[in-house]
Amino acid sequence: MKRGWSFFWVGLMIAVAVITYAMKDSAGRAADHVMDLRAGIAREKQQLNLLRAEWGVLDQPSRLQSLVERYNSYLELKSLDVRQLATIADVPARPADAMETGADAVPNAIMRSAETARKSAAAKTDSIETGSIEAPTRPKVVKPPAPVRRVAPPAPKAAAPALPAQPETGYLE
């Protein structure tokens, strides 16, 4: 009987040792993954800083002015005239049929404006339909996603005593 218990305890110790090793290996892999993520974040931050500096150089007004002067004959840019600006009173009012409300208001207004544009274009062009431009289709109405439930964060725990600083090796010791 004692011999049976001895085999049981030895088998249990081996099983616990295997489980402990598997947990240690898993924790080491997780620590390596965290270190890889931190290195990736550092690379992305460095790339963002480089792009911001490059944008600062490309966006300099003196550089843009010289480019405008160099390519003005090709771009044919003109200065903005103050008389080109409009006020809110200059904007025409919406037609009465565009005052719909509800989920179908925007798609219906788009379809009506497309139909009006098609009719006016047909009146100005030949009566032959070539079929090169497809008729607009009604856009799909996308429903908003369901609201996300927020869970309150757990209460803060008492601060643990500070441990002496140790170098990071990537594996849990």
Q: Which amino acid is at 3?
A: R
Does 143 or 99 have the greater pLDDT score?
143
For residue 70, what are the CA distances in angstroms to 66, 78, 81, 116? Answer: 6, 14, 22, 42
Give me the pLDDT at residue 69, please.
87
Which residue ranges make up each domain of the chain? 1-78
**pLDDT tens figures, 54-73:** 999 999 999 988 988 888 88
**pLDDT higher than 50, residue 43:** yes
How far apart CA 145 and CA 149 sit, in angstroms, is 12
Give me the pLDDT at residue 120, please.
60
The whole-number average pLDDT for the span 147-169 is 59
Half-sphere exposure of 34 (CA within 13 A, CB side): 11
Give me the pLDDT at residue 146, please.
65
**pLDDT higher than 70, residue 99:** no
Cβ-proximal residues to 138 (8 Å cutoff; 6+ apart), any chain: 107, 111
CB 84 within 8 A of CB 101: no
For residue 142, what are the CA distances in angstroms to 101, 109, 155, 161? Answer: 16, 16, 39, 52
What average pLDDT does the structure give for the chain? Answer: 75
The helix or strand, by DSSP H or E, that contains position 168, with its residue range, turns out to be none
Give me the pLDDT at residue 173, please.
42
- CA 153 remoteness from chain centre: 25
- CA 26 remoteness from chain centre: 31
